[in-house]
Amino acid sequence: MTLIRVPQSWEISENQITPPEAYFNRRRFLKSLIGAGIGASLIPLNACQKSSSETALANSLKLPKLTAKTNPAFSQVDRPITEEMLAGKYNNFYEFGGTKNIWLKAQNLPTDPWKIEVTGLVKNPQTYDLDDLKKKFTLEERIYRFRCVEAWSMVLPWIGFPMKKLIEAVEPTNDAKFVRFTSFYDPEITAGPSFHLGSLPWPYQEGLRIEEMANDLAFFALGLYGHDLPKQHGAPVRMVIPWKYGFKGAKSIVKVEFVQQKPATYWNTLVPNEYGFEANVNPNKPHPRWSQATEKFISVGPGLSWEIKETLPFNGYGEYVKDLYS
């Protein structure tokens, strides 16, 4: 078993924190820009992205139907929806390993039964199972842009409910200023054979200001592409915060806690100078090791390929969230 040593931020090289495929692809991407010019390239990545088995992958996506009305305010964006078979094999879920190709290992995630505890500074603490969530909250579909801090992006059709509905249900007290979200963690299950978890700040946790959680865009997803959420995407319930980098969207949520102080979060604890707490998508603020001005938009298969697109401030959702940051 490989022991991952967490280096000091000043000694991290790009390929230590970013999964190797993303690292090498980024090198190719930068090279291609020199020859092709931004916006013109559609770069095939088949050489790097061999899926173990398309049939097994398709099976991992064959899940009970979950349908809901599409919210007309979020029924389309200016880009096509990413093909499901691409989104389902290009994931970040570090509990199951440090590469993009963790979809198979993620099938070990036990999702039934599932409980989410909603606790902390609230008047009505609750513990919900999945059926409770589906009954209590009206589900809707929303098509959102998704932007990873590694400068790749997709468009995904989520099914779930706005986080503000949970706030209404549990009634935070006036002392509640932040919210901490905790992902499932069991080192017996989540540690892949080549991925030692001991020295990393598990469980994966994320946080929001309570006003951010109350924003109309902030969403809990229980489904994707018209069915239950696949395990590789963070079944059975995950956060979706479309104006922030993807790492803010913690997967497989087991606990939501309303707290007074800003909570410590996974990536911010690990590499604070690279992954801020706020993490709003911002093309004008480069990551210390790469530009955020453009992104690699992944949409069509059968092989993995991308188009270079300009990154939009707040990932295109400025009109909804700008008041949060004035």
Which residues sit at the interface with ligand MTE, rule CB under 6 A? 91-95, 148, 183, 204, 233-234, 246-247, 249-252
At residue 90, the 3 state secondary structure works out as coil
Query: What is the Rg, in whole angstroms, of the alpha carbon atoms belonging to the chain?
Result: 19
Q: How far is the CB of 17 from ligand MTE (least distance, A)?
A: 10
Closest CB 274 distance from ligand MTE, rounded Å = 12
Instruction: Please report how close the Cβ of residue 192 comes to ligand MTE at its closest, in angstroms.
Output: 12
Q: Kindly state the smallest distance separating residue 183's Cβ from ligand MTE, in Å.
A: 3
Residue nearer to ligand MTE on the CB measure, 134 or 147 = 147
Which residues, including other chains, have CB under 8 Å from residue 255's CB and lie 6 or more apart?
116, 117, 118, 119, 180, 181, 182
Residue number, 35 or 193, with CB nearest to ligand MTE? 193
Distances (CA, A) of 152 to 41, 67, 198, 234, 281: 14, 28, 28, 18, 12
Which CB atom, from 157 or from 246, has the smaller least distance to ligand MTE?
246
Closest approach of ligand MTE to the CB of residue 171, in Å: 27
- Residue among 93 and 317 whose Cβ is closer to ligand MTE: 93
Would you put residue 258 in left (φ > 0), alpha (ψ -120 to 50) or beta? beta
Q: Report the residue number, 153 or 215, with the smaller CB distance to ligand MTE.
A: 153
Taking the least distance from each CB to ligand MTE, the nearer of 92 and 215 is 92
Q: Which residues contact 174 (CB under 8 A, 6 or more apart)?
A: none
Alpha carbon distance 249, 247 (integer Å) = 5
User: How is the chain split among helix, strand and coil, in percent rounded to 5?
Assistant: 30, 25, 50
Decide the pairing of beta strands 115-120 and 253-259.
parallel
CB of 123 to ligand MTE, least distance (A): 28
